[in-house]
Structure 1
Amino acid sequence: MPKFIAMTSQGLVDPLYEELKELGVKSVQKKGLSKVEFQSSWEGAYRVNLCSRIATRVLLPVLDFVAYKNEELYQQVKKHDFTKYISPDQTLAVDAKVKQSHFKDQRFVALKVKDAIVDQFWKKYGRRPDVRVKSPHLRVVVKVHKATVSIAIDTSGESLSQRGYRKEAGEAPLREHLAAGLLRMAGWSVDKPVIDPMCGSGTILIEAAMMARNLAPGGGRKHFAFQFWKTFKQEAWEKVVQEVMEQEKPRSPFLFYGYDIDKKVLEKAKKNAQRAGVEEDIVFKRQPVSLLEPPVKEGILIVNPPYGERLGSEEVSKDAYRDLAFSLKRNFKGWTCWLLSGNEEMTRALRLKASLKVPVYNGPIECRFLKYEIR
């Protein structure tokens, strides 16, 4: 069976590892801080692309070799037949990253790899694919570390984090795959309502509702990269889609609750939920955190509070943190609250002691996912 690599953000390897095992792929292994390797049939790879909530893309490794000279790089790339994936009428892109290598210029590496690939097409067809940086039919990913070169092709296309529902977002939106990863890291297993007291554009709640209804995160995409390839197995893909659709539920077994002080942001959240098909599963309400009370007897709080971006000044943000802490202590004794913090100083304004701190990245921002047991 082919070997694949599922990519994600730093800090989400553990939940991605568990998710991939649940999706039924084989030989699942963590590789570094942001990727998990697995073996699977192409049918399984299609399923991971369609159903993984935490992966950002799925790569198919095709070459690993050592190269010290430009010509070595060129000749080694030609050992893999790239003409089996696309025709010369389609498009190609090569992305390269270079680290601690005598190949200093990653643009040169990308150009050399591209030359080796298109020369295969010239030799076979007398024509070559055009280069298209955005949304190519075949994207080749090159990683060079010292003299070791690893080449893979991207089976996903656009990032798997882009579900298609979030056309409306706040100023500091939480990425969809991170929201799903946080839900899993919090130990939430579709067993109780999720409350987000500062919900912004609603990403955490929408991801939770989609999980509760078994809605595939990739169900709203127009296509995946592998669907453009000559190796695409249409029957296997249709089988996966049918199996996934049969597992969908018409409604969540309980409601989710989102609050925010910003009326415009809440309208965006409602539109996002509508596009995701979960608008009937989420209750959105305009309300400050100072008035927060449990909408149900039992649930879990997960919140990504602003740290300047969404509320404006630092002092206003600190006030919001203090109000949140006050409401938690007054009204949520016995509950668990998970909080994503991108600003340690803001978190100190809570004056609560975290029982667990998990490092995670929200894009380029280093954060901590903090667990608070409210006593």
Structure 2
Amino acid sequence: MIESNQTAPLNLLATCPKGIEGLLHDELIALGATPGKTTVSGVYFTASQAIAYRVCLWSRLANRVILTLVRESMIDTAEQVRDVVARIAWTQHLAPGNTLAVDFHGRSEQIRHTRFGAQTVKDGVVDALQLAGQERPNVDTKTPDLRIYAHLHRMNLTIGLDLSGESLHRRGYRRDVGHAPLKRTWPLHC
């Protein structure tokens, strides 16, 4: 799923609860990453593959870690989203017979529902795979082999691969008891 060169810097995004982006920025530095732009509920950063996995394993503040594949501006229509997604080399990320799921966030004038946005992204993936001669993948929203992250806000589209799977606050804690009243990623020493 990630490039074979384990030392090449990867472009990543760590998402977090709104308001703790500064704390996440500092945590990423402590884990060995190089933070970049901070956004609402997230921090873009670069890191090697090993450090990206370290962030997935040890971050107490990140909800998800996204490997950024493409960031495009001036995207507003479903056709534009589909075209951007179809230009990605999905055969490098999705093997034949694997399943996928799309988590779409955001909206535009023409994309007003996240389900429609997710369907549009999936259609772009299918177009790219079929053009490459690969079979159509199945969708599995519960346990996909590949989870795709898509965010459209103010005509800026980000497409990436979710490296963390489920939200990091669900890392297997309290498997046999009731739900925790707070997310596990919330800092204990505020």
Q: TM-score, normalised by structure 2?
A: 0.84
**Residues of 1 paired with 2:128 and 2:160: CA distance?**
17
Counterpart for residue 33 of structure 1: 40
Amino acid at match of 2:127: D
Residues 99 and 145 in structure 1, CA contact (< 8 A), matched pair in contact too: yes
CA deviation profile, 1:195-235 (whole Å, cap 9, x unmatched):
xxxxxxxxxxxxxxxxxxxxxxxxxxxxxxxxxxxxxxxxx
1:73 paired to 2:102: no
Instruction: Say yes or no: does 1:49 pair with 2:56.
Output: yes
Q: Among residues 79, 93, 97, which one is paired with 2:101 in the alignment?
A: 93
1:136 aligns with 2:129: no
Alignment-mate amino acid for residue 135 of structure 2: R
Q: Secondary structure at the match of 2:62?
A: coil
Please name the residue that 2:20 is paired with: 12
Equivalent residue letter for 2:88: H
| 1:121–1:127 Cα contact (<8 Å) kept | yes
Q: Aligned partners of 1:163 and 1:51: how far apart in 2?
A: 11
| Structure 2 residue 127 is matched with structure 1 residue 119 | yes
* Preserved contact between residue 148 and residue 162 of structure 2 (Cα < 8 Å): yes
List structure 1 runs of 4+ shifted beyond 6 angstroms. Answer: none
Kept in 1: contact 2:107–2:113 (CA 8 A)? no
1:232-273 deviation per Cα after TM superposition (whole angstroms, max 9, x unaligned): xxxxxxxxxxxxxxxxxxxxxxxxxxxxxxxxxxxxxxxxxx
1:101/1:147 contact within 8 Å kept: no
User: Which structure would you say has the larger Rg?
Assistant: 1
1:23 alignment partner in structure 2 = 31
* Per-residue deviation, residues 293-321 of structure 1 (Å, max 9, x unmatched): xxxxxxxxxxxxxxxxxxxxxxxxxxxxx
C-alpha contact (below 8 Å) 2:15/2:41 kept by paired residues? yes
Tell which has more relative contact order, 1 or 2 (C-alpha 8 A, sep 6+): 2
Amino acid at match of 1:158: E
Percent identity over paired residues: 35
**Residue equivalent to 2:184:** 176
- CA distance in 1 between counterparts of 2:148 and 2:101 reads 6
Tell me the distance in 2 between the aligned counterparts of 1:155 and 1:22.
20
Q: Is the 8 A contact 2:25 2:38 kept in 1?
A: no
User: Quick one: structure 1 residues 173 and 80, their matched pair in 2 at CA, closer, same or farther if it must change by over 3 Å?
Assistant: same
Find the counterpart in structure 2 of residue 61 from structure 1: 68
CA separation in 2, counterparts of 1:168 and 1:140? 29
Q: Mind listing any 5+ residue stretches in structure 1 that lack a counterpart?
A: 186-375
Residues 36-85 of structure 1 show CA distances to partners (whole Å, capped at 9, x for unaligned) of 12111111101111111221110111122223443322222111112201
**1:106 Cα deviation (Å)?**
2.6
| Residue pairs, 1:1-375, within 5 angstroms | 1-26=9-34, 28-29=35-36, 31-65=38-72, 66-169=74-177, 173-178=181-186, 181-183=187-189, 185=190
Shift of 1:170: 5.3
Q: Which amino acid aligns with 1:61?
A: T
TM-aligned CA deviation for residue 100 of structure 1: 4.7
* Contact 2:77/2:109 (<8 A) preserved: no
How many angstroms does 1:4 deviate by?
0.7
CA shift at 1:146, angstroms?
Answer: 3.6
SS in 2 for 1:141: strand
CA RMSD of aligned residues (A): 2.0
User: Which of the pair is proportionally richer in helix?
Assistant: 1
* Contact 1:135–1:158 (CA under 8 A) maintained in structure 2: no
